[in-house]
Amino acid sequence: MRKDFYIFRHGETDYNRERRWQGCGIDAELNADGLVQAQNLAVRLENAGLEHIYSSNLRRALQTARIVAGHLHIGVDVVPELREGCFGEAEGMFKSEIAVKYADIYKEWYSETDNMNVRFPGGESKAEMQARMFAALEKLLDKPYGVVGIASHGSSIRYLLYKFGLPPHRMENTALFRLIYENGLWRLEN
């Protein structure tokens, strides 16, 4: 059995533009640029053979998924486990404020040692995000579609893909990745 997952980050929101952390507790919509980014993503995915899209329940991802699905004439189902990570008390704050208020955690969050257990007060750890996202993908293996889209979020995608060897990195809105499951093995393709 083979399943292809085209995993993409949502389009831009005003929070992204302002460099504020959204997390799962901020349910912002796409801004005008984000809507254009989603339309451009739909064009990029025209020849991917997508049969269905599964999306986070947060508006920014769901809007992106619906724009892509509308362009490709396929359906969308919501999978809440594909949501962004919970950043607890850091949600809604400017990145510059977080760097001051939670200096040690912020430094550890972006450290090259990549401590997967780091978390903000009241939030999820990187390891918890990764486990949640991977469990969601494993459940999708039972679905009837062979090629699907996954609409999700920067941190959740980042730490999911870290499991497959992609070092954590800054990703643009509507960044696109391809993860393949075949004969019991997972592999990440560019």
Enumerate the active-site residues: 10, 84
Supply the DSSP string of the chain, one letter for each residue: -EEEEEEEE---BHHHHHTB--TTT--PPB-HHHHHHHHHHHHHTTTTT--EEEE-SSHHHHHHHHHHHHHHT-EEEE-GGGSPPP-GGGTTSBHHHHHHHTHHHHHHHT-TT--TT---TTS--HHHHHHHHHHHHHHHTTSS-SEEEEEE-HHHHHHHHHTTT-------TT-EEEEEEETTEEEEE-
d(CA 171, CA 168): 9
